[in-house]
Amino acid sequence: MPTADPRQLALNLLARREHSRLEIAQKLTKAGFSNEEIQPILDDFIKRDWLNENRFVEMFVRNRFNQGYGPLRVRYDLQQRGISGEIIINALEIYRHEWADSAKNLRIRRFGETLPTTSQLKAKQMRFLSNRGFLPDHIRYALKS
């Protein structure tokens, strides 16, 4: 049975995992609550540090990195969740030296140890890594090692 209390619904959402402010607001709006009801609750949650976008971004980037997504895809996903550019840049910087190795490991998991021998196979692997959000430098590294 859905709760009639937006505060309790927001707490239930945060008990499961970290969320961005925009995510919580969208979910509460979808549940039928007005913006006038939602915003004071979110402000209070931020004040109490129950809702923390830096913590959300840190968790989100770590999870996406471990799932094999590159920085372009992670940046896009965070922007869709209402996260500001500066917070995104700082979070992605943490993995700056690891994205290329991640692309290489993902290529090996998906296609095996053997490097592509034809231009068609190389293009297929490049498209795959590009679709996962890796930068051209990361893709070149993954296909040369």
Question: Do the beta carbons of residue 38 and residue 6 sit within 8 Å?
Answer: yes
| pLDDT tens-place string over residues 44-94 | 999 999 999 999 999 999 999 999 999 999 999 999 999 998 999 999 999
Residues 6 or more apart whose Cβ sits within 8 Å of residue 95? 61, 65, 71, 102
**Number of Cβ atoms within 10 Å of the Cβ of 56:** 23
What are the structural domains of the chain? Answer: 1-51 (1.10.10.10), 99-144 (1.10.10)
Helix and strand counts by DSSP (H, E) for the chain: 9, 0
Question: Do the beta carbons of residue 20 and residue 88 sit within 8 Å?
Answer: no
| pLDDT tens-place string over residues 84-131 | 989 999 999 999 999 999 999 999 999 999 999 999 999 999 999 999
What tokens appear for 7 in the block?
Answer: 């505060």
Expressed in angstroms, the distance from the first to the final Cα of the chain is 54
